């Protein structure tokens, strides 16, 4: 499994503080949606061979897949979706949670990030459910790594 986990800029060279800072300079939600979509374009390519049931994130309106690896105590994540806005939302999640130790990931208050970005007021309830489903799956992966 030689996937581009460490090549993912999200959570490494682009973090949640960067996204919050960029959001402050955008005047309205039309510009913010465009920014979120652009973030999604920065996701590394996701291997088609991994678009299988075991990697499927249930609870999302769109199709979403998630894979991970742990290298030297750091949890790396890759996410893909068939919807461009969901790819952008996944990028926000990765900026906050990717490339951390499993315990640091669990300790990260991603809900606070979502509040600061005011995401849930500006995405549909089904997109919000999908966002929560992605975070829950990632937290479950981190918890299983901590317990291992």
User: pTM (2 decimals)?
Assistant: 0.94
For residue 11, is it within any domain?
Answer: no
- Phi, psi for residue 45 in degrees, rounded to 5: -60, 140
For residue 9, is it within any domain?
Answer: no
- Phi, psi for residue 112 in degrees, rounded to 5: -65, -40
Residue corresponding to tokens 């089904």:
126
Query: Of 77, 29, 83, 60, whose CA–CA distance to 133 is shortest?
Result: 60
Spatial contact of 110 and 136, defined as CB atoms under 8 Å apart: no
Mean per-residue pLDDT, 84-97: 96
Q: What is the pLDDT of residue 108?
A: 96
Q: How many domains are there within the chain?
A: 1
For residue 124, is it within any domain?
Answer: yes
For residue 90, is it within any domain?
Answer: yes
Mean per-residue pLDDT, 106-129: 93
Q: Is pLDDT above 80 for 3?
A: no
Cα 5 to Cα 45, 46, 116: the distances in Å are 10, 10, 27
Query: Of 115, 80, 88, 92, whose CA–CA distance to 34 is shortest?
Result: 88
For residue 27, is it within any domain?
Answer: yes
Mean per-residue pLDDT, 52-60: 94
For residue 1, is it within any domain?
Answer: no
Size (the chain), residues: 148
- Residue 58 structural domain: 16-147
Grade residue 61 by pLDDT with cuts at 50, 70 and 90.
confident
Grade residue 4 by pLDDT with cuts at 50, 70 and 90.
confident
Catalytic machinery residues: 60
Mean per-residue pLDDT, 56-74: 93
Q: Is pLDDT above 60 for 1?
A: no
Grade residue 147 by pLDDT with cuts at 50, 70 and 90.
confident
Please report, for the domain that includes residue 100, its CATH number: 3.90.1010.10
Q: Is pLDDT above 80 for 116?
A: yes
Percent of the chain with pLDDT over 70: 99
Give the model confidence (pLDDT) of 20-48 as tens digits: 999 999 989 999 999 999 999 999 989 99
Q: What is the pLDDT of residue 41?
A: 94
For residue 4, is it within any domain?
Answer: no
For residue 2, is it within any domain?
Answer: no
């Amino acid at each position: 499994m030689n996937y581009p986990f460490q090549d993912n800029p999200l959570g490494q060279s682009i973090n949640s503080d960067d996204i919050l800072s960029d959001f402050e300079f955008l005047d309205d939600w039309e510009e913010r949606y465009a920014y979120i979509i652009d973030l999604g374009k920065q996701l590394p390519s996701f291997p088609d061979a991994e678009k299988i049931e075991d990697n499927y994130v249930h609870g999302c309106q769109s199709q979403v897949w998630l894979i991970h690896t742990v290298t030297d105590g750091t949890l790396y994540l890759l996410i893909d979706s068939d919807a461009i806005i969901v790819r952008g939302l996944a990028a926000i999640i990765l900026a906050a949670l990717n490339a951390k130790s499993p315990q640091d990931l669990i300790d990260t208050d991603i809900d606070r990030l979502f509040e600061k970005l005011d995401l849930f007021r500006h995405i549909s309830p089904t997109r919000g459910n999908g966002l929560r489903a992605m975070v829950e799956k990632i937290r479950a992966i981190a918890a299983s790594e901590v317990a291992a």
